[in-house]
Amino acid sequence: MDDRERGRVLLDEIAPSFLEREGVGFGRMFGSDGLSIRGKYFAFTSHLGDLVVKLDRDRIGELGLENMVMRGRPMAEWAVVPLDAGADRWREVADEAFAFVDAITPGADAAGPA
C-alpha cells in the first residue's frame, strides 16, 4: 500500500465521528478525498498521504505544523499533518479545523448550539 492509500485509510478511520455532525459531508478536493462543513472543506488527504487542514494562520505555527505548499507558494490557512502523526493527532487537528471552518462558513448559526 502506498502513502496515498495509507492516508485514505487513516481518513476513513477518523471520518465517521465528523460525518455524524450536522452539515458535514465527504467529497473530493484537489483530486483527493476530504471532509467539508456546509460545502466548505476543512480536511483532505494530499497526494502524499498527509492530512491537509484549514486553520487560522497563527494557529498553524502554534500547533507546530507547516503550511501546505501549492505550486511553490505556501497556502496561508492550509496546514499539513504528516501521515506518520497517526489517527489520534489527525483527529485532534481535524476537530480544530472543523471548528475553525464551521465558525467562518455562512450558516454557522444553524449548525447547532453554541
**Alpha-carbon dihedral sign for residues 32, 37, 38, 40:** negative
Entry pTM: 0.90
- CATH-assigned architecture of domain 3-109: Alpha-Beta Complex (3.90)
The domain spans of the chain are 3-109
Q: What is the pLDDT along the chain (114 residues), one digit of tens a residue?
A: 999 999 999 999 999 999 999 999 999 987 889 999 999 999 999 999 999 999 999 999 999 999 999 899 999 999 999 999 999 999 999 999 999 999 999 885 544 444
Query: What is the phi/psi pair of residue 21, to 5°?
Result: -85, 145
Is 98 in contact with 108 (CB distance < 8 Å)?
no
